[in-house]
Chain A
Amino acid sequence: MDIPYTVHARPDTGLYNAKIGIWLFLASEVMLFGGLFSAYIFLRLGADYPWPVHDLDVTLGFWNTIVLIASSVTVVMAWASVKLRRYGQYKIYMAVTVICAGVFMFNKSLEYKAKFKHYAVKLTDGTILTGHMPEDDHHHTIPYQIKFGEITELSLTIPVKKSAITADPVGYVVPHIEDESPKFKTADGKEITLDDASFAELSAAAIAKAESEGKGSATVKLTAVTPLKAAAKPSEIFGYTADSITFRDGTTAKGKLIDDKMTLLVDGIDARGVAQPDKSLAFDHRYLGAWQPAFVANRDHHIAEFEEKYPTRDKDKSATLQKESLFYKIHSSTPPAADAAHGGDKHGAEAHAPAEGGHGGGHDYPTVVIDKKDITFFSNFTPKLNTYYAIYFTLTGLHGLHVVAGALVLLYFLVFNGRMLREDPEHLANRVEVGGLFWHFVDLVWIFLFPLLYLL
């Protein structure tokens, strides 16, 4: 059965059916994005931290906006070309539209990837250090891990009845031990390798013994044949002290803490959340003490410049000034000389950056080793970090899905509707118009997303 009114208008509505359909769909899409924009307003009003302004890559966002606008023009030109029966032009415009979608998504992937590799570490006084984890020779990030050594004994708790915390050393302990197949001695002197079979045997015996004694749970002690080493991310363990580490299955290992310090290549000191920014924990002698004069010089420079440019403007209420003066960006591995002049139109750290700093395309950053006790929270720039990044990833992620979906539909028209183009061009023109309407909507959403997330 043919779908009615694909080419000619339905007499009562005056429109072909697909057009009514797409507009009803777009109306529901407005509600979908409207709800998320509403969430954005709530999150922004309720944010207990300075809302990021110009924190994303504005240049990349700007070019992506241009790309999307260009694709909006080409898709409407594609429609007009079919209407005018210029089939060659139609194909070119449609192809350019799909290519634009690809370019947009490629740029987006670069942006996301950079965020995943970038970290923020919140210190106990409210200072936020931003930067990267060190990398190995193959450019793989070396994750932050708690390292233990001289592990001699494992203590496993096995409840008789299944409980939320049941020892599962094969799943939660062995993966963190450096030795591939660690050997242990049981209480009765048997030497075992911890795997599913040996642990099942061990726990069955322990449960039987506990039941006969009328206990609710059994404790099994395993002694390491040779002292072991273990390393785990903080999220992979329950907790640790100087001489014991408890894994997520409740198993406790006795050993010696080797290292719980975090190494960070710092590219920014955000002291906006600190009562006395110049006395931030970041400027402790263990950390970036040498950078304090540069931080103060940068702050004073920005405040002086602001007061000169905007004499009537309250400097305490300028989001941009707060950011520029108290969120100090680092571009070199050593602090600038104290008497360095502020040159040209470059500000703060950029003006101070040594001329040879740009070699190899990348920057050098000071390496800071942070004590665990000074860290309250750390995360890469993902939804976990704060509500801004949560709504940023939700909105741009959903928008990205729309770009992909729209591009696939337009690509389908281009590749598979060649016969329709020759035999029933009015039908294809209507299809392209409907696909185009969706595509313009995707552009329209981005027109609001770009300023809200990148600029304001």
Chain B
Amino acid sequence: MADNIEEIQKSVKKYLIIGALLILFTGITVWLSYVELPTHGLNILVGMIVATFKASLVALIFMHLNHERSVIYKVLAFTVVFAIVLFVLFYFSKMDPLIFDGFYKLSE
């Protein structure tokens, strides 16, 4: 936690730079979505990588997760594990031989 005055004064400049970076990467995300990569699945992957990078900036800098007490990281560790479980749940649908793959396959 940045608690002394000098550190906060330094952070103010940092916040503005991060804000500008976030806007820049929003523009990049929009532009990338119009580029035809070899598969649309790749477009999604690249878009999500940029979004994750932006989200990390928000979490680390704005939400001060780059210097927090250990108890918060312990709480968040559980969240991360369960969130990953949620996002891989869809693999169960691959076990169904009758599943319709959709018009545009995500992985090819």
Contacts and interface: CB of A to CB of B under 8 A. Distances in A.
B72 A76 contact: no
B5 A84 contact: yes
Contacts of A54: 33-34
Interface in A43-100: 44-51, 53-54, 58, 62, 65-66, 69-70, 72-73, 76-77, 80, 83-84
A70 B3 CA distance: 24
Contact of B47 (A46, A62, A451): A451
Interface in A92-134: none
A49 B103 contact: yes
Q: Which of B9, B59, B78, B79 has the most CB of A within 10 A?
A: B79
Given A46-B100, A73-B15, A38 B71 contact: no
A80 B12 contact: yes
A451 B44 CA distance: 9
A436 B27 CA distance: 24
Interface in B48-79: 48, 50-51, 54-55, 58-59, 62-63, 69, 71-72, 75-76, 78-79
Chain B contact residues: helix, strand, loop or mixed: helix
B8 to A, nearest CB: 5
A310 B62 CA distance: 40
A66 B102 contact: no
A177 to B, nearest CB: 46
A80 B2 CA distance: 10
A386 to B, nearest CB: 13
A287 interface: no
Contacts of A452: 47
B29 A13 contact: no
Contact of A38 (B62, B79, B86, B102): B86
A455 B58 contact: no
A440 B44 CA distance: 24
Interface residues of A, number: 63
B95 interface: no
Contacts of A443: 58, 62
Contacts of A46: 93, 99-100, 102
A30 B19 contact: no
Nearest to B83: A34
Contact of A76 (B15, B55, B105): B15
Interface of B: 1, 3, 5, 8-9, 11-12, 15-16, 18-19, 22-23, 26-27, 29-30, 33-34, 36, 38-40, 43-44, 47-48, 50-51, 54-55, 58-59, 62-63, 69, 71-72, 75-76, 78-79, 82-83, 86-87, 89-90, 93, 99-106, 108
16 contacts: A23-B76, A45-B93, A46-B102, A51-B102, A51-B103, A54-B33, A80-B8, A317-B105, A320-B40, A436-B62, A440-B63, A443-B62, A447-B54, A450-B29, A456-B33, A456-B48
Interface of A: 13-15, 19-20, 23-24, 27, 30-31, 34-35, 37-38, 41-42, 44-51, 53-54, 58, 62, 65-66, 69-70, 72-73, 76-77, 80, 83-84, 306, 309-310, 312-313, 317-322, 436-437, 440-441, 443-444, 447-448, 450-452, 455-456
